[in-house]
A and B are shown apart, each in its own frame.
Chain A
Amino acid sequence: MSETVLKAGTADQQYQPSYLEMETKHKGILAWILATDHKRIAQLYFFSMMIMFLIGALIGVLIRIELMAPGRTIMDAQTYNGFFTLHGIIMIFMFVIPGLPAVFGNFVMPIMIGAKDVAFPRVNLLSWYLYVIGGLIVLTSQFVGSGPPDGGWTFYAPYSVKSAANIGMAAMGAFFLGFSSILTGLNFLVTIHRMRAPGMDWFKMPLFVWALYATGWIQILATPVVGITLVLVVFERVFQLGFFDPAFGGDPILYQHLFWIYSHPAVYIMILPAMGAISEIIPTFAQRTIFGYKAIVVSSLLIAFVGYFVWGHHMYTSGMSDTAKWVFSFITFLVAIPSAIKVFNWVATLYKGSIDIQPPLLYAVSFMFTFMIGGFTGLIIGAVAQDIHLHDTTFIVGHFHYIVFGGTGFAFFGALHYWYPKMYGRMYNIKLANIAWGLFFFGFNVLYFPMFVAGYMGMPRRYFDYLPEFYIPNLISTMGSWFLYAGIILMIYNLVKSRKTGAIAPANPWNGVTLEWSIQSPPTYENFDEIPVVKDGPYKFK
């Protein structure tokens, strides 16, 4: 980045009204819910998403308390079924899938490429509304009709087409959430193609932008498949069709294929932006240019591409041909390569850097730790023979929570601590943030690691009750969830409080060099007075 840009943005410039305070033609709450500004939409997403996250996490804690001891603890079996289903739908469709793109993608991506907004601001707002509508439908499904949806977030047929519970409505809600995700992806792809500042070549883009670009393609090409599949489930329930009902010659395995054709790539929708955020945080706090920029870019695209062809590894025990099993297993192993490339590059970036240990870096480094555990356990269950033993055990639950929560979740909160001063122009209490991170990280590992042990011993997932021999790992796991939740609450307390009372943050508190640090905090409505001209690649530290 040119030096002039940095100077113009930081010291010399006068403070102008930020996007938080600007005058708009609408007043009060309307100025927010009718906003087309990408930063305001990011805030809309952020708040709705945090509400959903807290509900989902609370349900998770309740599930853990129920599983603290064998037999009934605090709820009956049907409530438990409803709870793990709702926990899955909320966390997957309303937190980790929209997660980083909708909040931080919306907030910083246009600034990072030197644009004033996304390509289609009103479509951007529409996708938030679709998100809200989808979320409300899912929540409503809990209270109306024939009882809360059960059977898990995967909506597996034929149970989902026969269960008396209110599954159709939840599936419809997920359809809306998918549509929202498609429009976000579409918007970002066009923005990145068309709105880069002069001089911002493809290979001068920050890695977070690259990650969003790869994610955008998965969003628009994979989501429609699950969308239409869920519509088929809804129609099957309403109009007595029988696409997946064996009584009509329907094929439940076909449902699983259609579902995972999307839902495995969806895992990369969750993790790629997370990796992108980590690729931003690590160079800033090591004050060192990223190691292997192009390798990280290519590995993002490879993950997006190869990720389409691994869905069968969810179905080793479902009754596929043996050939299909080993082909899927082989391709699954291939995905590990680009993922590992990224981890090596991050570690190599830290090597001999001038490391400044701040909360975002703590989250980023713990991301690497948990992601490695999640990744390696993924290889264990990617092997067919092992998976036959571990399929549908809590080992799987441990694995995907290490990836999705330990990966995307940590990256989300790391990104939040990284861009928080930019979003609000205030700094949070660093000490408190470190303590919250400590509780979070400790609780996380205590919560999920015992699941590997119990799963390896043979404890099935999603069961309401279990044999006494699984008591100890379950007890430890439940106690871990309390630390984790305490960490989350402390973190939110710190961030909410600092929003009004925190110290005023400078434009560039971390000494970052991507474009968002060159403008004032919080940014003005149009981000840049003058569109910057980019000369160098990102991450050029002095």
Chain B
Amino acid sequence: MSDHSTTQSHGLVHRDDEGSKLGMWLFIFTEILLFGALFLVYSVYRFKNQDAFHAAALNLDTVIGTINTVILIVSSATIAMSISALQQKNKKLAITLMVITLVLAFSFLVNKYFEWGAKFHHGLYPGAEHLISLGSGQNQFFFLYFFMTGLHAFHVIVGMGFIIFVMRQVMRDELTYNNYTRLENAGLYWHLVDLIWIYLFPLFYLIH
């Protein structure tokens, strides 16, 4: 988002930390609306197929879901701590915390992979005969499950890319204790990824 501090063709240097953060917040609004439409679809189909959604949700693995929730919340904390570390001129600690965040994000994806794999193994994927035999309500549940958690996983990957991008800049001292807005923006984005999961988790795993 932030476009300052780099040389442009005419050396027009423009740095506006508040503006960069504002841009990130506006982008987060669009992301929330993006998922908001899906939450709308979810609530309509949940309302229409209450029993089927109840039955289908029993197939989800609450343990893996809980572990992944904890992982994401902790990773949100580590990225926030990394910002504080950089503010206090502790570059090494900031990078370490970013690496921890990335490791946690990656383990989230690994868990997701095994979780999805198990669903495929049990014939619970769109188009599978077993799922079709369970009726349209359960089908809708799994369409939404795969689409929404898949889109969320895509955001996890984008967020990781963003963190790697700013981590390189911290390493090269392009982001420092008095110029850390881009790291803050990466953190904001990461909190969004976390926040969306906080809603996905109960909607799919916990409500029975």
Give chain A's interface residues, CB within 8 Å of chain B.
22, 24-26, 35-37, 116-117, 119-123, 182, 186-187, 189-190, 193-195, 220-225, 227-229, 232, 235, 239-243, 247-251, 254, 258, 261, 525-526
Contacts and interface: CB of A to CB of B under 8 A. Distances in A.
Contacts of B16: 119, 194-195
B101 interface: no
A194 B140 contact: no
30 contacts: A24-B9, A25-B9, A35-B9, A119-B16, A120-B2, A121-B8, A182-B30, A186-B27, A189-B22, A189-B26, A193-B22, A194-B18, A220-B26, A221-B33, A223-B30, A224-B33, A224-B34, A224-B37, A225-B33, A225-B34, A228-B34, A228-B35, A242-B136, A243-B140, A247-B136, A249-B49, A249-B139, A250-B136, A254-B41, A254-B44
Contacts of B34: 224-225, 227-228
B175 to A, nearest CB: 17
B31 interface: yes
Interface residues of B, number: 42
A193 B26 CA distance: 12
Q: SS class of chain A's interface: helix, strand, loop or mixed?
A: helix
B127 A239 contact: yes
B48 A249 contact: yes
Contacts of B33: 220-222, 224-225
A220 B139 contact: no
Nearest to A255: B41
Between B30, B136, B151, the greatest number of chain A beta carbons within 10 A of the residue's beta carbon is seen for B30
A249 B1 contact: no
A251 to B, nearest CB: 7
B23 A119 contact: yes
A22 B10 CA distance: 10
Interface of B: 1-3, 8-10, 12, 14, 16, 18-19, 22-23, 26-27, 29-31, 33-38, 40-41, 44-45, 48-49, 126-127, 135-137, 139-140, 143-144, 146-147, 151
A123 B2 CA distance: 9
A239 B126 contact: yes
B168 to A, nearest CB: 18
A242 B143 CA distance: 7
Q: Which 7 A-B pairs have the closest CB atoms?
A: A249-B136, A224-B34, A194-B19, A224-B33, A240-B127, A225-B37, A120-B3
Contacts of A220: 26-27, 29-30, 33
Contacts of B38: 228
